[in-house]
Amino acid sequence: MPVLILGLVLFLGVHSLRLFADGWRSRQRARLGELRWKGLYALVSLIGFALICWGFGLARQHAVLLYVPPLALRHANALFTLIAFVLVAAAYVPRNHLKAAFGHPMLLGVMVWAFGHLLATGMLHDVLLFGAFLLWAVALFVASRRRDRLEGTRYPAGTLRGSALTLVIGVVAWAVFARWLHLWLIGMSPMG
């Protein structure tokens, strides 16, 4: 469990700098330069992500059951994850209605993904992983929306084409991940 916790602290910590240490972050970007700052940010993120993956695998070997979710919630998680994939796609596809409405659809996608997985799993390592991501995404979403309001940030209006493309990309990515990649990367198939 300590490796998982260290990975979460590194990964979510570096992704929370704007939330908790924006002044320090700005000074470091100016001191190091944009390219070196992004390189360091990416390196710490990758190390944190690798530790999360390794730590999660280690924690699964010594699983501690906290609760047993009903089977229906495991099926509902497929729907939550589908919605999360569409929201993440909305962060990248230009001029879609989700980005226009919410400004930060990737954070909403992380929230939905983490919440669905909390409903569907009941091991301590699951609660730690998904709970940490859920709390992080909620805090960052609230802070980001507040910053948008204060700075008067407006996102481009969505178009039918942008929204349709978002939906198609999200659904296809979800199907590929659920059918093949989840088993390969995580070691279990969500499709049964």
pLDDT tens digits for range 7-54: 999 999 999 998 899 889 999 999 999 999 999 999 999 999 999 999
Percent of the chain with pLDDT over 90: 86
Cβ atoms of 89 and 173 within 8 Å: the answer is yes
Q: What is the mean pLDDT of residues 61-67?
A: 94
Distances (CA, A) of 184 to 58, 63, 124, 137, 180: 17, 20, 22, 26, 7
Give one word for 187, left, alpha or beta, with left for phi > 0 and alpha for psi -120 to 50: left
At residue 114 the predicted structure's pLDDT band, cuts being 50, 70 and 90, is very high
> In the predicted model, what is the mean pLDDT of the chain?
94
The 3-state DSSP class for residue 122 equals: coil
Q: Which residues contact 183 (CB under 8 A, 6 or more apart)?
A: 189
pTM listed for this prediction: 0.91
In sign, the C-alpha dihedral spanning 114, 118, 122, 124 is: positive
pLDDT number for residue 192: 64
At residue 88 the predicted structure's pLDDT band, cuts being 50, 70 and 90, is very high
